[in-house]
Structure 1
């Protein structure tokens, strides 16, 4: 199949940091919109150019993390959030995102909630569309998942071999060293329990936190060299400079999109794969995102 990939750059700025030092930096490339044209058969949408609603953006990020295992220098992560399967999100977009993640072969894949919106009808489609990842998957649930059917989603993902974490953690061997993945349940529905999540977990090494709502970062152990991956905000969904930030701050959501330093830890807020671009929920100034990360030991930042 002959494929031509055209990319349009968008001047999307990294969100400002809340605290931290220059050594704890994130290097983020400009966003790219992927446009797939298939002169031959396309298994996702045969013999047709993709519609606007099928597009998403890729972000490539480098995170310098102090205290992590040296064996994890160069570790690769893929992060998807807020997929909202149903009429709000193109199924082709979701399938293409899964294929793009598999093609890049990250070490681990993180999913941070809101796989549905309001209706239970798309529940079987969530499991169908998100099946097939070829690397270890760790997932947490979001507020919409709890409002619809959290039990169905957890058991469905577990049937796929994915690890779903609800105020619990797992320690897995990756690249010859232990990686601690801490999954905190949704804060929007007040199901988050940071103490239970960290109970018995290693207190050092490479420790990555998954949770749907970004403000949970303020509850993490201070100066823990932790990296939290979240979603929930859709990058602001409809961004009007100054106004959107003020509304989100008033709603208790000061972290809208991109990278932050908070109380000696790091936070990345994914703009979410779902909504907008042809669906009933408009996006402005924000794009459906699949984020990739390369972890670097903090000393590597000093060397450069």
Structure 2
């Protein structure tokens, strides 16, 4: 896949290949590959419906077990099946994830939008993800039919977490995956999610809404993976961020350091409102992460 090859290319400042480095809060970078599709140009609209980017992110974690150095995670979010999101795009995103063979796959909510009609198609288009797949639900999922979606994902063999956690063993050590239910609809319960969970080691949190990070145990060396915002969806310099902050969404896109934990806000794959042409400056995303021990980062810098 051309997008995958571009995502692996390290762009230089003089490159005109269509790749660029986008700065992230916390001093990290993501390599973004994109097709140049513009939803406002009629001749490019068909391509835009199938377009998405692959992002690569390094997450440096203090106290990461040595055997988890290099652990790979993939994240899909906000696919919004049936809301003008091309099913071709979703299927290609699944193929892109499988091509990387990540250790863990996270789905972080909003698989539908307002109508129950697309519900049967969710299982079809998101089937086939390989490896250990963990799922949390979003606000739109609860508004439409959360029990149906939970059953759908469990039928696929995916693990759905609603204020629950699971411990899996990877590369000889445990990984705790904690799934907090949706905060937008008031179903989040961080205390219940962490009850009985290990207090150390590799701990990764799934939560649809980014502000859940403010409720996590401080200095917990946790990483939260979220979606919900669509990265702002339609970026107007100086306005979009201000509107999101007024709406109680200070975390819009990319990487953040919050109270001794880390947060990544995925831009999402689909459209929550406005159809496929009301998205600009925030390309649909499939995110990949490599976990690195702090010692690895120090050695690389030296």
Same fold (TM over 0.5): yes
CA contact (8 A) 2:176 2:198 kept: yes
Aligned: 1:179 with 2:180: no
Give the CA deviation at 1:52: 2.5
Could you list the structure 1 runs, at least 4 aligned residues long, displaced by more than 4 angstroms after superposition: 3-8
- 1:26 maps onto 2:31 in alignment: no
1:195 aligns to what SS in structure 2?
Answer: helix
In the alignment, is residue 286 of structure 1 matched against residue 282 of structure 2?
Answer: yes
Indicate the SS of the match to 2:18. strand
* Aligned partner (choices 146, 149, 154) of residue 145 of structure 2: 149
Q: Secondary structure at the match of 1:293?
A: strand
Residue deviations 1:66-101 (CA, integer Å, cap 9, x gap) = 122211000000001000000420000000000111
Alignment partners' CA distance in 2, 1:187 and 1:108: 23
In 2, the alpha carbon distance for the partners of 1:224 and 1:52 equals: 40
- The Cα of 1:123 is off from its aligned counterpart by 0.4
- TM-score, normalised to structure 1, is 0.88
Aligned residue number for residue 249 of structure 2: 253
Q: Distance in 1 between matches of 2:251 and 2:271?
A: 19
Q: CA deviation at 1:281?
A: 5.4
Paired residues in the alignment total: 280
Cα deviation per residue 1:129-165 (whole Å; 9 max; x = unaligned)? 0000111100100000000000000011001000000
Instruction: Tell me the equivalent position of 1:203.
Output: 199
The normalised TM-score by structure 2 is: 0.88
Distance 1:68 1:155 in 2: 34
CA contact (8 A) 2:71 2:103 kept: yes
- Structure (1/2) with the larger helix percentage: 2
Identify unmatched segments of 5+ residues in structure 1.
Answer: 18-24, 36-49
